Amino acid sequence: MKTLLLATFALSLFAPDAPALPEAHFKVVVNADNPVNELEAEQIGRLFLRQDTRWRNGTAAEPVDQSARATIRSDFSTKIHRKPVSGIQRYWQKQIFSGRGTPPPVSESDDAVLSFVRSRPGAIGYVSADAEVGDGVKIVAVSP
């Protein structure tokens, strides 16, 4: 027990600081009917990890991810989850095989993400910083 406590303390000394969010190369989008205008990175992370499954108004949250090979996925994972994509994939392996849940669906492009978000009131996704989101989708501000 004492060894474990010492190990915990020792590990904490090497833990890296959280990366700064303002340099993100993506923007987070939700359905235009969603009353949310701003979210903390941690809240977004919990939605995508399906630890929170509802919005405050009671609507079911429906995250949509991008391909594990996409650069934007890597940026999102590092900024929001503070882990590389492989770490999140390992999280989902644990969830799946312990019977706790399955990962969000994956869309292969910004357009596919926007289409998904536009069609579902509880959807949340992320697209490239320079993507045109169009009608039915709104961008939410992300705070660290």
Partner 1 sequence: MKTSIVRCWTAGALLTLAAAPGSTQGLENVAVHGFGGWAFAETDDNSYLIGNAEGAYDNAAFALNVTARPTENLSIIGQFELQQRAEFPDLETVLDYGFAEWKFADTLRLRAGRVKHPFGLYGETFNVGTLRPFYLLPQSIYGPERYTARSVDGGALTGNLAWGEGWSVRYDLYGGRISGRLRISGIGVPEEEPLQHGLQEIPWGFDDVVGLRANLSTPLTGLSVGGSFYRGVATGFFSVGETEKVVGVHVEYDLEPWQVRAEWASIFDDPIVRFDTYYVEVAYKVWKGLQLAVRWDSWSGDIKLPPELLPPFVYDIQDSEDWGLAVNYWLDPGFVIKLNYHMVEGNRFASAPVPDDQLTNGFEKDTSMLVLGAQFSF
Q: Return the bridge partners of 26, or none.
A: 128
Whether the Cβ atoms of residue 48 and residue 63 lie closer than 8 Å to each other: yes
Work out which of 38, 57, 71, 87 binds partner 1, going by CB under 8 A.
87
Cα–Cα distance, 105 to 63 (Å, whole number): 8
Among 71, 84, 108, 136, binds partner 1 (CB under 8 A): 84
Contact flags string 5-44 toward partner 1, x per CB under 8 A: --xx--xx-xxx-x-----------------------x--
What is the torsional sign of CA 81, 83, 89, 95?
A: negative
Residue 67 binds partner 1, judged by CB under 8 A: no
Evaluate whether 140 touches 37 at the Cβ level (below 8 Å). yes
Please, is 7 exposed, middle or buried when counting C-beta atoms within 10 Å of its C-beta (0-12, 13-18, 19+)?
exposed
Shortest distance, CB of residue 110 to partner 1, whole angstroms?
A: 22
Q: Does 141 bind partner 1 (CB under 8 A)?
A: no
Paired residues of 142 in beta bridges: 39
Q: Does 86 bind partner 1 (CB under 8 A)?
A: yes
Q: Supply the Cα-derived Rg of the chain in whole angstroms.
A: 16
Which of 108, 132 has the CB closer to partner 1? 108
Please identify which residue in 21, 60, 129, 141 interacts with partner 1, judged by CB under 8 A: 60
Letter for the amino acid at 37? Answer: N
The site for partner 1, by CB under 8 A, has a size of 34
Question: Interface with partner 1 by CB under 8 A: which residues?
Answer: 1, 3-4, 7-8, 11-12, 14-16, 18, 42, 46, 51-54, 60, 82-84, 86-87, 89-90, 93-94, 96-102
